Every structure is written in C-alpha cells, then in structure tokens.
C-alpha cells in the first residue's frame, strides 16, 4: 500500500477520524501505533516481523548502553572536566560491544537486501524479503544508537513509544530520515485536534498529490518513452527528456514528502524539512543542502564529522601540512571525508557500479568547487562583478542544474523503468508536459520570494478571503481530478525514491 493508492486514502480517512475524536493522549498514542502496524502489515507479514524485531533489538541495546552509563552519571558530577572526560571514555569502551553488535545486525541486513536486489535474488526465487522503507528506518535507528552511545540524547524507556516512533507510517516509505529524539518528544506530547492544523495539512497534501499524480506521472510517460528508445530520437529530444526527468524526479520525491508532511501535520507532528527549492541553488554544495536535506545531514553527522575530527586523520593531515604545505593539508582534510560521504551516498541509493560512480561524480564536483572558490572570486573581482550580480546568479543556477542533469545520466537506466509499451499521446498530456514544469517553477519562485521575506505561501493564502481560498482549493482539486493519472485502467507509478 502506497500513499497514492485508493486503499490508503480509505485507511487514512478512517484513521484520522478516529484519531481526532480521541482526547486521551495515551489512547491516541496506542491508536497511532496500531495504525502504523496495520499500514506496515499491508506491506507483508514477514516485513512487519523484521521491522518489529529490528526495533526490539535497538531498544534493548539502547537500554543496555543507558544502563552502563548510569554508573558514569553517578560519578561524573564530583569530577573535574578532564577527569570526567577520561571516565566517560572508559564507560564508552564498556558499551562499544553492545552498539557494535546492533549496528552489525542492522547494517548487515541492509547490505544483504541491497546486494540481493542487485543480484536479482527476487527474480530467481531465492529467499529475499525487502521490508518497506528499510533504507530509511535503518539509518534512523543507526543514528539513534550512535547518539545514545555518544550520550547526546536521552534513552527512551517506554517500548511502545519507541515502537510508535520507528513504525510511524507517514515517513516509513521514503523519509524524511527522522531523528528519533525529536520525533519521540512529539509522539510523547500529542496535541488535540485543531482545525487550522487540519487545513494546513490538507493544503500540503493536495500540493503533493498535484506534483506526483499530475506532473511527475505525466512526465514519466514522455521520459520513459525516450529513454527506452534512445536511437529513435534526436539529441535535442534526449536533452529535453533529461531536463524533464530532473523535474519529474523532483516533483515525485518532493510530492511524496509534501503528502507525508501534511499527514503528520494533521496529527500534530512536524517532520524534518527535506527540500528547500533546490533548483535555485548556485553551487553543487548548496544543491545538496537543499535536496534530501535529512539524508545529507545524516551523512554529515555520522560519516563526515567522525572522519574529519578523528585523531588518526588529524595526525595524517598534520604530517601533510608539514611536508606538502598548508594548502595540501586543507585539501586532504576536505577531500577524504567528502569522498567517503559520497561513496556511501551512492551505495545507499543503489549497489551497482553506476551508483558509486554517481557518488564520486558529485563528490568530485563539490571538492573542486571548494578548491577553486578563491580562484573564482579573483576572476569575479577582476571583472568588477558583484557576487549578487543577477547574471552570475542565473548562470550559477543553470550550471548547477546542468551538473544535476549530467549526474542523472550515470544512473538513468537504474532510475527509470527501461521498458515502455506503446504510449498514446493526448493533447492533455502534451499540454501538461509543457505547462506543468512552468507552474512548478512559478510556485517555487513565489516560495523563494516569500522565504526571503520570512513568509510562506500557505500563510499568505490563509489571510485571503474565504471565497479566494476556496476558489484556489477547488481549482487544484479539479486539476487533480482531470489531469491526475489514476483510476480504472491506470496503475499509478510508485514513488521513485521508495525503491532506494
């Protein structure tokens, strides 16, 4: 069951009605857990058993580490900061085996699933169960365990609250990758029903469904047709398809995030922001700070920073500074952790060599842009151009979008269904292919403008007269009903990022 299926809509309506009518927070939390388990049960009983088993293991290990650290917390207040740090290191050594065992189990199973899918075990009838959203909930669990090990977050003692957090159905399929400490805090303090929150959540859901069913799935027909028969199209058609595929991927992924964020908002839970108008980015680094934000932040916290701040790595960069000069030391200190992050990012998206090359491609661009930043600044100064020059800003945005499109070429056969049937073209479809991206761009421009003013489109919309508001709502619903790709004889394409 996906967020765009009819069964899910029925499930969501029944669940939200029951959820809104229950005032007691404890019963509301139990209902949320029941809803999560029902949603996941639809994905398969074996998959449900795996996520419950994983959650129990992580919960038990976190409690074990917390129990070990209890001795440290008793002694720490009486010690000086240096002695406290030394004592904490001793207790970390005692708990490392608990954490290492849990991480080996979680990551080992994730690697097994990804390797099995790459090797085609599903098609060969070999035993391979692929739990829904395993790439997302595994990273969330790993992050939670590492934070417990670092003594950065409080251990959750209530197993039902923890299970509710792990299986929270709005973010289980394709994120955002949640930090359990923040999500647990909200789950343990669920608010009552609010009409304004309901309206805001429904607005966000409607915008997400428009992006997915009207724009992304219509563009899918065109892009798949081109990519399945490259020899039958001219270069200009392939370039147009590449650009439209970039828009399709954004509309597909961000559309899903809008849908699930809206659902969570109705329940009084705010999920992490995962997109911030990435196509307005002026550099590769900025693009990935605006695209899939939760994944980028996860890799920064749990891969980049541990490598960059490790004593052994600092020792290596120190030696390089002495032998090769300060500039080389800085380059190495940035390059090694960045490449590690991007190789892992590629592997997270897929296990083939194409995904590793894709990761190295982005890592190389970001590293080179950092190295050449001063050189670019000198050229700009010589030309007498301001950093905020409109022409330069547009050029940098176009350049970054071009990098993004070229990167997609590396993994295009893995990301797009490569075999397409005979597709019937209608006037409506061709119109959406042209108009749809323009509408999306216009809305993104408005969002960027409002963001700079400290406002939001939804806030602006909420201040309009009821006639204006409902005219816009009904127009959006009409567009979804007329142009949305669903109904009898049509099987809506699943979310692209759900397959990672």
- Tell me the pLDDT of the chain (500 aa) as tens digits: 678 888 888 999 999 999 988 888 889 999 999 999 998 888 777 788 888 999 999 999 999 999 988 887 788 777 788 887 887 788 888 888 999 999 999 988 888 887 776 666 655 555 566 677 888 899 999 999 999 999 888 999 999 999 999 999 998 888 789 899 899 999 998 888 888 889 889 988 988 888 888 888 888 888 888 887 777 778 788 888 888 888 888 988 889 899 999 999 999 999 988 988 898 898 999 999 999 899 999 999 999 999 998 888 888 888 888 888 877 887 888 889 999 999 998 888 876 778 888 999 999 999 888 878 777 777 777 777 777 778 888 888 999 999 898 888 887 754 443 333 333 333 334 444 445 555 555 555 556 555 566 666 666 666 666 666 656 666 666 555 555 555 544 445 555 555 55
- Specify the pTM: 0.80
Q: What whole-number distance in Å separates Cα of residue 405 and Cα of residue 400? A: 9
In a 10 Å sphere around its CB, with 0-12 CB exposed, 13-18 middle and 19+ buried, how is residue 15 labelled? Answer: buried
The residue behind tokens 């007269």 is 465
Cα distances from 177 to residues 8, 52, 169, 209, 292, in angstroms, run 21, 18, 12, 21, 9
Are 475 and 325 a contacting pair, CB within 8 Å? Answer: no
Helix and strand tally (H, E) in the chain?
21, 0
Q: What whole-number distance in Å separates Cα of residue 326 and Cα of residue 321? A: 5
Percent helix / strand / coil, the chain, rounded to 5: 75, 0, 25
Q: What whole-number distance in Å separates Cα of residue 321 and Cα of residue 292? A: 34
The total of other beta-carbon atoms located within 10 Å of residue 469's CB is 15
Q: Minimal CA–CA distance to 281: which of 366, 356, 182?
A: 366
Q: What whole-number distance in Å separates Cα of residue 365 and Cα of residue 356? A: 14
Are 129 and 44 a contacting pair, CB within 8 Å? Answer: yes
The neighbouring-strand residues paired with 291 are 275
Torsions phi, psi for 435 (to 5 deg): -80, -35
The total of other beta-carbon atoms located within 10 Å of residue 115's CB is 12
Q: What whole-number distance in Å separates Cα of residue 489 and Cα of residue 87? A: 66
Q: What whole-number distance in Å separates Cα of residue 227 and Cα of residue 96? A: 48
Are 285 and 369 a contacting pair, CB within 8 Å? Answer: yes
Are 269 and 29 a contacting pair, CB within 8 Å? Answer: no
Q: Residues 280, 498, 251, 465: is their CA dihedral positive or negative?
A: negative
The residue behind tokens 């892009």 is 223
- Record the tokens describing residue 267, joined without a space: 């329940």
- Record the tokens describing residue 273, joined without a space: 């922001």
Are 330 and 308 a contacting pair, CB within 8 Å? Answer: no
The neighbouring-strand residues paired with 275 are 291
């Amino acid at each position: 069951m996906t967020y765009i299926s009819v069964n899910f809509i029925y499930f969501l309506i029944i669940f939200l009605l029951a959820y809104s009518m229950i005032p007691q927070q404890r019963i509301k939390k139990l209902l949320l857990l029941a809803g999560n388990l029902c949603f996941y049960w639809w994905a398969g009983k074996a998959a449900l058993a795996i996520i419950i088993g994983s959650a129990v293991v992580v919960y038990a290990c976190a409690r074990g580490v917390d129990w070990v650290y209890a001795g440290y917390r008793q002694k720490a207040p009486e010690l000086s900061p240096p002695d406290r740090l030394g004592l904490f290191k001793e207790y970390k050594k005692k708990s490392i085996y608990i954490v290492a065992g849990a991480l080996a189990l979680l990551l080992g199973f994730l690697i097994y699933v990804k390797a099995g899918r790459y090797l085609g075990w599903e098609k060969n009838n070999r035993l391979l169960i692929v739990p829904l959203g395993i790439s997302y909930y595994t990273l969330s669990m790993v992050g939670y365990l590492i934070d417990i090990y670092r003594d950065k977050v409080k251990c959750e003692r209530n197993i039902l609250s923890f299970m509710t957090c792990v299986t929270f159905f709005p973010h289980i399929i394709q994120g955002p990758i949640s930090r359990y400490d923040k999500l647990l805090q909200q789950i343990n303090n669920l608010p009552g029903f609010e009409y304004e929150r309901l309206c805001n959540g429904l607005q966000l859901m409607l915008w997400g469904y428009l992006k997915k069913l009207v724009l992304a799935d219509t563009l899918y027909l065109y892009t798949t047709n081109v990519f399945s028969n490259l020899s039958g199209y001219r270069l200009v058609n392939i370039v147009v398809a590449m650009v439209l595929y970039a828009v399709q991927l954004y509309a597909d992924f961000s559309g899903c995030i809008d849908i699930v964020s809206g659902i969570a908002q109705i329940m009084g839970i705010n999920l992490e922001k995962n997109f911030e108008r990435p196509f307005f980015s002026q550099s590769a680094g900025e693009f990935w700070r605006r695209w899939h934000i939760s994944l980028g932040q996860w890799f920064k916290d749990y891969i980049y920073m541990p490598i960059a701040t490790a004593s052994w790595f600092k020792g290596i960069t120190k030696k390089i500074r002495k032998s090769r000069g300060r500039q080389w030391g800085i380059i190495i200190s940035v390059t090694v952790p960045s490449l590690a992050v991007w190789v892992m990012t590629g592997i997270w998206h897929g296990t083939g060599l194409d995904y590793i090359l894709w990761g190295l491609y982005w890592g190389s661009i970001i590293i080179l842009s950092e190295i050449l930043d001063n050189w670019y600044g000198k050229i700009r100064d010589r030309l007498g151009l301001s950093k905020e020059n409109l022409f330069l800003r547009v050029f940098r945005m176009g350049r970054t979008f071009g990098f993004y499109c070229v990167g997609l070429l590396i993994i295009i056969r893995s990301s797009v269904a490569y075999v397409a049937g005979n597709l019937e073209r209608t006037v409506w479809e061709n119109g959406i292919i042209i108009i749809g991206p323009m509408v999306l761009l216009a809305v993104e421009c408005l969002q960027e403008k409002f963001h700079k003013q400290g406002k939001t489109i939804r806030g602006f919309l909420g201040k309009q007269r009821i006639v204006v508001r409902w005219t816009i709502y009904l127009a959006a619903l009409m567009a979804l009903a007329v142009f949305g790709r669903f109904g009898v004889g049509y099987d809506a394409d699943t979310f692209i990022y759900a397959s990672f």
